[in-house]
Structure formats: structure tokens, C-alpha cells
Amino acid sequence: MYWLFLLLALGAFTVSLTTTHAGLLLLSLLAALLLFLLWIRGLYVARFAGSSRRAPRALHPAELQALRNQLRPPVPPATPPSPPAPEEHPPS
């Protein structure tokens, strides 16, 4: 669709080259400029509109907590304290 703007701009420029009236010359040059800018904008939108990334959605607090738990270092299981070893008395 935006290619039509380029064709119309070329047509308006052709009119500006062939006219003998100053008012029509000015009007057709302005139309050619406007249509050319619309063509450039359409070309830009067609090329880059699909490549923009969407903003990420906000995470639910439960999802955040799950991610935090995954990133925490693993905690070794607690071992019960071993009873103290009996002291050996030297022979007397």
C-alpha cells in the first residue's frame, strides 16, 4: 500500500515540472514532498514494525519465589550432632 505513495509522489512531481502556474507548481511540490515522506514512513514501518520486542509481562509473586528458590545455592541436609567421643584416660 505504501508504494502507492511513491507513485503518487512521482505523479505530483511530474505535474510540478510540466505546469506553468506558480500556485500549482508550489502545491504539487508540497504534495510530492508529503507523499514521499509518507512512502518513507510506510517503508520504515513495514521493515521494522515486526522486529520490535514486546515488554515482558510482570511475574506473579509465586513465580518470582520459584525463580529465587532455583537460584539459591543448595543447602546441605542438617546432620544431627554426633555424641562426643568418650575420653580415654591415660593409665595411672
Residues 39-72 have pLDDT tens digits of 999 999 888 876 666 777 888 889 999 988 888 8
Mean pLDDT of 5-13: 96
Alpha-carbon distance of 9 to 29, in angstroms, equals 9
Mean model confidence pLDDT for the chain? 86
Per-residue pLDDT, 27: 97
Q: What is the chain's percent helix, strand, coil content, to nearest 5? A: 60, 0, 40
Cα three-residue angle 41-4-21, rounded to 5 degrees: 100
Alpha-carbon distance of 23 to 72, in angstroms, equals 75
